[in-house]
């Protein structure tokens, strides 16, 4: 019963409430014999519903995340971690500023890989917007807090996108005579990242982390209820697909 209640409840909050309102407008217009506008309202409601359920978003996300599997071995000389957003003035244990969810997951995975390999960590990411933090500088502080020695951390703090991540990281790797990077980023972001690094003349060992969708599809009731998380994931996937297209066109 609790799952049925949660399903119904999902239509009382955004984006579910907007789907209900659009469907209601469609019914009202149909009764008023305004058939074309009614069909438009129904179509928009259906589109919004499909873009806000996990059955759809998980499937699209899974298609991106399955591009690379974590390697069985770690043949490299440096762990390269790509940023993914940061706050600038939020309180943290040992300072101000925090990495966002995906960036934090990438950093945590890199710290765990360091414990296994002892390889240096290069974190790539700058201050993307005026109201965001410098990702690499925040990452360095957090890595030190996770007991990674400061002299095993390299920071690339200028890049504003994945293409610049690759370009500026390549310069830093060459400066330190590092040639076999293990690339750590979110699984959904890995395909585009590998393409950008290849475009910059580097061969990497992909190590995907921060998975958003389960490897096996689920059709449970909650997967059919509208949610803002599903819409966010659809947006993330569309951004990645557009980015992949841009890299291919540029190549």
- Which pLDDT tens digit goes with each residue over 148-192? 999 999 999 999 999 999 999 999 999 999 999 999 999 999 999
Helix, strand and coil content of the chain, in percent to the nearest 5, comes to 55, 15, 35
What is the rounded CA–CA span in Å between residue 17 and residue 63? 29
Rounded to an integer, the average pLDDT of 86-95 is 95
For the chain, give the percent of residues with pLDDT over 90.
Answer: 95
pLDDT over 90 (residue 216): yes
CATH 3.40.50.620 assigned to domain 78-209? The reply is: yes
**Residue 77 — φ and ψ, nearest 5°?**
-125, 5
Task: Confirm if 6 and 225 have CB atoms less than 8 A apart.
Answer: yes
Using 50, 70 and 90 to split pLDDT, how confident is the model at 251? confident
Find the helix or strand (DSSP H, E) in which 175 lies.
helix 162-175
Please, what is the end-to-end C-alpha distance for the chain in angstroms? Answer: 54
Phi, psi torsion values for 136, nearest 5 degrees: -65, -40
Mean pLDDT of 121-133: 97
At 48 the pLDDT is 98
Residue 138 has pLDDT above 80, yes or no: yes
Q: What is the mean pLDDT of residues 97-125?
A: 98
Q: What is the mean pLDDT of residues 57-78?
A: 96
Structure confidence at residue 3 (pLDDT): 85
The predicted pLDDT at position 4 comes to 86
The radius of gyration of the chain's CA atoms, rounded to the nearest angstrom, is 22
Domain boundaries, the chain: 2-65+215-250, 78-209
Which of the four pLDDT bands, split at 50, 70 and 90, describes residue 43? very high
pTM: 0.94
pLDDT at 136: 98
- Judge contact between 45 and 19, C-beta under 8 A: yes
Helix 101-117 × helix 135-145 angle, to 10°: 50
CA distance 72 to 70: 7
Report cis status (omega within 30 of 0) of the bond before 15: yes
Cβ pair 164, 197 in contact under 8 A: no
Q: How far apart are CA 115 and CA 109, in angstroms?
A: 10
């Amino acid at each position: 019963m609790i799952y049925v209640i949660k399903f119904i409840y999902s239509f009382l909050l955004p984006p579910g409430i907007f789907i209900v309102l659009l469907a209601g407008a469609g019914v009202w217009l149909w009764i008023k014999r305004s058939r074309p506008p009614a069909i438009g309202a129904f179509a928009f409601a259906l589109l919004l519903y499909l873009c806000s359920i996990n059955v759809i978003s998980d499937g699209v996300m899974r298609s991106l995340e399955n591009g690379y599997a974590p390697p069985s071995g770690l043949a490299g000389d440096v762990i390269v971690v790509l940023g993914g957003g940061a706050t600038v003035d939020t309180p943290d244990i040992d300072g101000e500023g925090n990495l966002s969810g995906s960036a934090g997951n990438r950093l945590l995975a890199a710290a765990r890989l360091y414990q296994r390999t002892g390889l240096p960590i290069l974190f790539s990411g700058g201050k993307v917007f005026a109201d965001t933090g410098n990702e690499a500088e925040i990452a360095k502080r957090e890595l030190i807090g996770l007991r990674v020695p400061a002299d095993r951390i390299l920071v690339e703090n200028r890049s504003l996108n994945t293409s610049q991540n690759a370009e500026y990281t390549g310069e830093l790797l060459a400066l330190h005579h590092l040639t076999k990077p293990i690339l750590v980023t979110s699984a959904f972001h890995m395909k585009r990242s590998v393409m950008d690094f290849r475009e910059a003349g580097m061969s990497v060992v992909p190590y995907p982390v921060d998975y958003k969708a389960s490897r096996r599809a689920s059709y449970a009731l909650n997967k059919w209820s509208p949610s803002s998380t599903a819409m966010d994931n659809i947006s993330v996937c569309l951004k990645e697909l557009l980015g992949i297209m841009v890299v291919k066109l540029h190549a």
